[in-house]
Amino acid sequence: MELKHITLYHVVTKLREEFETSFGKTIHRHCVIVSIEDSSDTVGWGEAPVDDGPWYSYETIYTTLNVYRKFIIPILKKNRVIESPWIFNDIVKRVRGYRMAKAGIETALWDLYAKLQNKPLYKVIGGVKERVSSGVSIGIIGNMEKLLKSVEYYWGQGYQRIKIKIAPGWDIKPIKRIREVFKDIPLQVDANASYSLSNMNVFKELDKHDLLMIEQPLHYEDLYEHSILQKRLHTPICLDESIKSIYDTKAAIALQSCRVINIKPARVGGLSESKLVHDYSMKNNIPVWIGGMLETGIGRGFQVALATLPNVKYPSDISASSRYYEEDIIEPPWIVDSKGFIHVPNKPGIGVEVIEKRLIKYSKRIYSISLRD
Ligand code: OSB
Ligand code: MG
């Protein structure tokens, strides 16, 4: 690929409903959309789902735009002829961290690369499924009746499992109540790193409710304490925040810190690293699923492609466009069928068309940068 031009869009979309987690409430979702054009005028699209504050991750809109313009794009300019996206991380390895920023550009390169081969992205990365299992992630809803209504609604829509966010003070009560009404639906919780080992009584209680998994109960950088907790629970621990790379994956598996891994392409630095985490987990009998960051329809395309990999054994946090947004920036919107499946498009790249008029409408600022000078 001979890269010609890159455009960065700071996009702000409004969620249909506020989404609350242990780290805060979101109603306006920020991200950086990246488009990269090559010498044949083919365009690839990518997404860095960074927020406007360092809540889930230390990376924000501001760090991402700066690190792009000051460090990553200058390196890309020197390497504008690039064989494949597999080597992107190697090209930018002098820049440490900033995995979400890197993922924004790397995913755009993947979309472009697949389009140039006229192949759907999932086939290029070794996907083996034509449809993927969809789950829904429900934020903290402090009102029990509203929470039940929400679970009932999404379960009725066909989603194959329900995940609710928990935080100290909002954990056992909602789970007990959901289990009274929905005795055996696939149910899991996500703590977003809000507990410590001193909360063992909460974990012991959660352990009685036949949960599929408990996601990221302890500190976002921890592996060791999760290994202690996992030994004391029947319920599998799933790591999200703690797995930022293949190196964390190897350590987590060796320490038995978890029995399941949530792979978010942006968190680990893109599809190449996601594939490394996926393959290593598969070799070690650790099933995975694909997590989300309330992405636009562009980011969702990469989640869908990854979810077609063989070791994705649980429903992923890949919901319909309409679960998040009134209007997505792509067409057709991502749709979940009544059995909870998303059908993988067979068109080249991520398989959806970006509607540039909408993208521009939601953009707070746009940087258009030639890679040729
Ligand atoms: O921890 O999985 C998480 C959303 C934003 C940040 C972190 C998380 C989430 C979700 C929603 O749970 C997943 C989605 O549907 O995109
Ligand atoms: Mg999570």
Q: Which residue has the tokens 């309330």?
A: 294
Best of 13, 20, 21 for a ligand 1 pocket test (most atoms within 8 Å of beta carbon): 21
Output the pTM of the full model.
Answer: 0.97
313 is an active site residue:
no
Note every long-range contact of 207-211, with CB atoms under 8 Å and residues 24 or more positions apart, other chains counting. 207/233, 207/234, 207/235, 209/175, 209/176, 209/179, 210/179, 210/184, 211/175, 211/187, 211/235
pLDDT tens profile 88-128 = 999 999 999 999 999 999 999 999 999 999 999 999 999 99
User: Average of pLDDT values for 34-58?
Assistant: 97
Q: Name the CATH superfamily, with its identifier, for domain 123-343.
A: Enolase-like C-terminal domain (3.20.20.120)
77 is an active site residue:
no
> At 295, is the pLDDT very low, low, confident or very high (cuts 50, 70, 90)?
very high
User: Average of pLDDT values for 306-335?
Assistant: 97
Average pLDDT, the chain: 97
Residue 325, CB-side half-sphere exposure with 13 Å CA sphere: 23
Give span(s): CATH 3.20.20.120, the chain.
Answer: 123-343
Provide the pLDDT for residue 144.
96
The CATH number of the domain covering residues in 3-118+356-370: 3.30.390.10
Nearest protein Cα to ligand 1, atom 6: 293
Best of 293, 306, 319 for a ligand 1 pocket test (most atoms within 8 Å of beta carbon): 293
What is the CA(3)–ligand 1 centre distance, in A? Answer: 32
Provide the pLDDT for residue 190.
98
pLDDT tens profile 228-254 = 999 999 999 999 999 999 999 999 999
Q: Say if residue 196's pLDDT is above 90.
A: yes
What is the number of other CB atoms lying within 10 angstroms of the CB of residue 27? 11
Q: Say if residue 44's pLDDT is above 80.
A: yes
Provide the pLDDT for residue 76.
98
Give span(s): CATH 3.30.390.10, the chain.
Answer: 3-118+356-370
For the sheet with 24-38, list strands across it: 43-48, 24-38, 3-21, 363-370
pLDDT tens profile 274-294 = 999 999 999 999 999 999 999
Q: Say if residue 373's pLDDT is above 90.
A: no
Provide the pLDDT for residue 124.
98
21-25, 204-208, 261-265, 287-291: least confidently modelled range: 21-25
Provide the pLDDT for residue 371.
97
